[in-house]
Structure 1
Amino acid sequence: MAENEIEYEAKGTYEAALEKSRQIEEDIKVNPSKYRVLTGDRPTGRLHIGHYFGSLQNRVRLSKMGVPTMVLIADYQVLTDHDAFDQISQNTKQLVIDYLAAGIEPGENTIIYPHSYVPECNQLMLPFLTLVSNSELSRNPTVKDEITKSDLAVVNAGMYTYPIHQACDILFCKGNVVPVGKDQLPHLELTRTIARRFNKKFCKKTPPVFPMPYALLSKTPSIKGLDGSAKMSKSLGNAVYLSSTADETAALIKKAKTDGERVITYDPVNRPEVANLLMLISLCNGQEPEAIAASIGDGGSGKLKSVLTEALNEELRPLREKRAQLEKEPDYIRQVLTEGAGRAREIAVKTLDEVRSAMNMVI
């Protein structure tokens, strides 16, 4: 284990992950081809502005910097806690439209694919399951939280093995950078554990098969739902979708929760709903939330919502125009998926061959 890896493991804290993330950000500017990003979404519905500001813009930035990027559509993982399997195919295509409209460009450096079409990746589940104990899965805080939020009467085994499937998604392509929020760090730590244990057990006399993946922590603050909920969410119906029209966006923002104070100030602790709307304006126009609040002054929530509506509709206007055009090109969307799946399989076949060789299973 390299010296910097030993130091990182010894600390094992959020602060250590944050510092490593900063180091990677700086190195990417100089050595983008040194990294491979694995990122993606579950096809449970269309993407909203929380995704746009929280992840899509960052994916576009990384791919344009020349970082090899794998954009995963995690269709199998929908089955763990959703009954909307009848919508998976349509949702998958809508995700691709959102990706392309946001500026992700499939090509030599960027692959968009559904993991159900990469069976070699999923074959890694069996050896990876032998490297993790039941207790490790049961005490994973992210798994616990997802089980609680799912409100399932019976928790299926897929919920517990969800982080192992994520490890397959990251390691099959030898992804070494995964953009995540703080709440996803436990999943990534389990991936690192699996990679470390596989290399230690099966690669004693050969170079390690898997690199250690690191978190690229999001710099965007968590975006609350328009109803004041802790998080903007498809399931809570408190989101502005990328596919929403300008009029639909205005109607949604008009109903956004604020407070009774006339003078607008940026105070995330005491006025979280107002602060959230100010932060959204800031993400659109680049001004500081405090300056935006000062310019609105005693205009009240009506003025605040008007400014946000105008800023957000202007920010999303090019995306929505491109999205409308892509909706008319179903054959191209299908082509992006099939070509992406084919390229992902090429990578997965090579990795699975290395895994078989390391485990002495070559015939």
Structure 2
Amino acid sequence: MYKLVIIGAGRIGASIARLLDESGDYELLLADQNSHALDALKFTDRVAKQLLKISDSQSLVSTLQGCEAVVSACGYDVNPVIAEAAAKAGVSYFDLTEDNATTQVIKRIAEGAGTGQTFVPQCGLAPGFIGILGFHMAQQFEQLDNLKLRVGALPEFPNNNLMYNLTWSTEGLINEYCNPCYAIRAGQPVELTPLEGLETFSLDGTSYEAFNTSGGLGTLYETLRGQVSDLTYKTIRYKGHQYLMNFLINDLKLGEQRELLKQLFEKALAVTRQDVVLIMVTATGTINGKFMQITDSRKVYHGDVGDEHWGAIQITTAASLCTVLDLFFTKRLPQQGYVRQEQIDFNDFIQNRFAACYRIAGRPRGR
């Protein structure tokens, strides 16, 4: 049995615990500062639950001692605290953050950690799986010219002018729309402005748009520096969304009042579990002396997991984190130091038992 602590009993943390518990191979401690969140969750006796204040560093380190790894399913702002505690407790660390600054802090903590400790941030969908897939496709080219990573979590049945519903963290969504976007242009790392770079495309008869957003590229822009002419990450939305978001964030300057923007989103945009995740990577370059383009396109829909109905972003995020954990515990990841997502072998990932959602072709049926 692999011994693991999961901090954060929200929707994603609970989903990760559910998948790992059902595998039968993990002994879990699920910790949260909210007793009601913990009490509402039911697991087998392989999962213990504990109230925990992250601000109590001594208690946090004590909780981690004796386990093999910790997963932060919390907001990005507390990840450095948990990573520091992991370093002190001598355990490995995993998270889901999309925040670039936080990831740099985790990297510095990993560099000062002890032997036998692995730190793997950004283990979700984007950043996460999209970087693993993008790097895998890049390796198929003798000379890589352009690599485009595109991801979107969209309501299956949009019915408002924004053509959008909340499907995940509101704070994460706002950061994505407001923070600088890393990319590579003409072979050099650059910062792009969020909400710019608008493009349109059609997939399976539906029209979409995509535009610059922050965080989804992860560390791939560092890894591929000098190996690709142009590398970009953009978020996929239904057409018309970017225009209205640009009006709110830039014209009305709500990007300078993020707490107010969060309140507006959560007041006006209903949460939905009926969503679809779109994943598309397009690579262009030279293969066997010919200028070629390869595109990998995937869709993941909401569906039933056991006796619960999960949203597509919930499924893909939890599945990605569980897959990375499984690869770590089965010695298919480095067992020391800081690990980037693109260091994870795509074939190992996609063949893992937890990655089934990424292998599904077609529309799974569900409520």
State whether TM-score is above 0.5.
no
Which TM-score applies when normalising by structure 2? 0.31
Q: If you compute each CA radius of gyration, which structure gives the higher value, 1 or 2?
A: 1
- The structure in which a higher percent of residues are helix is 1
Which TM-score applies when normalising by structure 1? 0.32
- Tell me: higher relative CO, structure 1 or 2? Use CA pairs within 8 A at least 6 residues apart: 1
